[in-house]
Structure 1
């Protein structure tokens, strides 16, 4: 049985980590969050110590090093801009870090973390759950079996509606979240990189407060992509069903069905990490480079190979401002 701590216990993704820790037969000994709405812990680890102040949490973890309750892993579920610092905390406590995506916001952060790994002898692991999704694994095998000179045409669409709260939260601050492409798209870019190889071209057509769209060319794919958090962009048939999310990946015009099978992906990722077969720093690099370049590119407008939804009418920011 391994001992875990969890940083960011009140967030949306934390329950998946709590479940993964429990279902892999391990133990959560401490958790941290500045918000105390963490009753979900009772369903998994009611005996875990909980802290709302980092200083007390840090002291508690330090003391455990001198007892029999040595910490093995720290699960990082905090806002994107804090991942780097909390990963470093884990490694300084002689524990491995298991971090939600995006691992960091900038490529050079990966280089710095690699040095911390080397200094401490600990490992940093990514949550790249799409890589363990059966439909995605089957797709990768299909692409690998195709003629080596075959270049696939791909359309990626991910629409996940968000309310006004989004813009008040850290997610609406591009300096903290990295913007839409980073916050809701990074796992798709990782998936595409894993399947189709190195990036050859990265063009941004649209990038505003509520959507981003562009064109990515990989070794084996030409990808038109569109991401949005605006409800109005959803197809009418999705709205009529009362749904607020739509995801689609079309390869050569054929829909990839991967809407099911998400329930236990984090648990499988944890199993792989604990057995030493997880994905480390190098696995994160290309997706981080992609979202960094998107964030820092000037949109070219509707030119070249753009996604059809890029033509959708732009909307005003709920609080009366727009940004690229």
Structure 2
């Protein structure tokens, strides 16, 4: 059994990490969050220590380090995006390997800094890139690898995840902290596209505001029109009133709706990391670079059929 700590225990995604720690037969020894709404711990790890001040959390970790049986092995990080870098570095210097939520960090420059700290500490950073474990995505990757096609695949990616008014009042609605909607909800989709279709060759942004974004990505094996939104009004008619989230990939006109199958992907990610097959800094570099370019890009008009169909109804 490995000893885990969790940073960001009150966050939306934290329960999936708590469940993954438990389901892989490990121990959540301590947790930290500035907020104390962490009652979920009672059902998953009632004996875990909990702190609302980072200094006390860190001091506790250093005390645990004195005894090999209690020393922390991993720190899982579910904190707001802009704090990932600082929390990763702190955990590495505490002598722990790190499992961090997406986006790992906002830029390739910071990835390089993390690589340096890895070398200094001898510890590793792993990113949760859960779509690489989704059965439908693995099947698509296998199909693309086997097929010999002369023309690139025509791909349409649509991801709509409804968020209420609270979203813009939280850190997620502040682009200085979340790095914007394309990074916050899209980074693992860009990783998935690279995972399936190869190296990115073009990156164009057609629309971007605080609620949604659209653009065009061209990979070695695919031309991708993408649209991301947190606006419930963008949900397809077939979904409205039934589901709050819609994920769809269309490949050469064939739709692969993959809204289901996400429940256990964090546990699968943990199993792979613990087995020595986790995705590290270099695995995350491609999607980090993709969103870094998207954030810096000027919005351009869609040409030559490169625009996602949703663009027709969007007003800048």
> When the two structures are superposed, what TM-score results if normalisation uses the length of structure 1?
0.95
Q: Does 1:160 align with 2:158?
A: no
Q: Residue by residue, what CA displacement relative to the aligned partner does 1:141-182 show, whole Å, maximum 9, x if unpaired?
A: 000001164411100001111111111111111111010110
The number of residues matched between the two structures is: 314
Tell me if the contact between 1:205 and 1:303 (Cα under 8 Å) persists in the aligned partners: no
Tell me if the contact between 1:233 and 1:312 (Cα under 8 Å) persists in the aligned partners: no
Task: Quote how far apart the aligned CAs of 1:262 are.
Answer: 1.4
Bigger Cα displacement from structure 2, 74-83 vs 60-69: 60-69
| Cα distance in structure 2, aligned partners of 1:302 and 1:211 | 16
| Cα distance in structure 2, aligned partners of 1:130 and 1:255 | 17
Q: Residue by residue, what CA displacement relative to the aligned partner does 1:284-311 show, whole Å, maximum 9, x if unpaired?
A: 0010111111111110134341101012
Q: Does 1:133 align with 2:134?
A: yes
- In the TM superposition, what are the counterparts of 1:9-88 in structure 2 within 5 Å? 9-67=9-67, 68-88=69-89
Q: Residue by residue, what CA displacement relative to the aligned partner does 1:193-215 show, whole Å, maximum 9, x if unpaired?
A: 01111110000000111110000
| Cα distance in structure 1, aligned partners of 2:33 and 2:51 | 7
Q: Residue by residue, what CA displacement relative to the aligned partner does 1:232-289 show, whole Å, maximum 9, x if unpaired?
A: 22222221x3322211100001011423221211111101101111111001001011
| Cα distance in structure 2, aligned partners of 1:161 and 1:303 | 29
Q: Residue by residue, what CA displacement relative to the aligned partner does 1:113-138 show, whole Å, maximum 9, x if unpaired?
A: 00000110000001011111111111
Tell me if the contact between 1:100 and 1:126 (Cα under 8 Å) persists in the aligned partners: yes
- In the TM superposition, what are the counterparts of 1:194-213 in structure 2 within 5 Å? 194-213=195-214
What SS does the corresponding residue of 1:176 show, helix, strand or coil?
helix
Tell me if the contact between 1:160 and 1:230 (Cα under 8 Å) persists in the aligned partners: yes
What SS does the corresponding residue of 1:249 show, helix, strand or coil?
strand
Give the aligned partner of residue 322 of structure 1: none
Runs of 4+ residues over 3 Å off in structure 1? none
Change (3 A) 1:149 1:109: farther
Backbone CA RMSD of aligned residues? 1.2
Bigger Cα displacement from structure 2, 305-314 vs 89-98: 305-314
| Cα distance in structure 2, aligned partners of 1:23 and 1:287 | 28
| Cα distance in structure 2, aligned partners of 1:97 and 1:199 | 27
**Structure 2: 5+ residue runs without aligned partners?**
none
> When the two structures are superposed, what TM-score results if normalisation uses the length of structure 2?
0.97
What SS does the corresponding residue of 1:39 show, helix, strand or coil?
coil
Q: Residue by residue, what CA displacement relative to the aligned partner does 1:9-55 show, whole Å, maximum 9, x if unpaired?
A: 01110010001000000001000000000000011110000000001
Give the aligned partner of residue 142 of structure 1: 143
**Structure 1: 5+ residue runs without aligned partners?**
316-324
Tell me if the contact between 2:203 and 2:216 (Cα under 8 Å) persists in the aligned partners: yes
Give the aligned partner of residue 103 of structure 2: 102
Tell me if the contact between 1:33 and 1:51 (Cα under 8 Å) persists in the aligned partners: yes
Task: Quote how far apart the aligned CAs of 1:76 are.
Answer: 0.3
What SS does the corresponding residue of 1:224 show, helix, strand or coil?
strand
What SS does the corresponding residue of 1:238 show, helix, strand or coil?
coil
What SS does the corresponding residue of 1:204 show, helix, strand or coil?
strand
| Cα distance in structure 2, aligned partners of 1:165 and 1:302 | 32
What SS does the corresponding residue of 2:182 show, helix, strand or coil?
helix
Bigger Cα displacement from structure 2, 293-302 vs 54-63: 293-302
| Cα distance in structure 1, aligned partners of 2:128 and 2:149 | 29
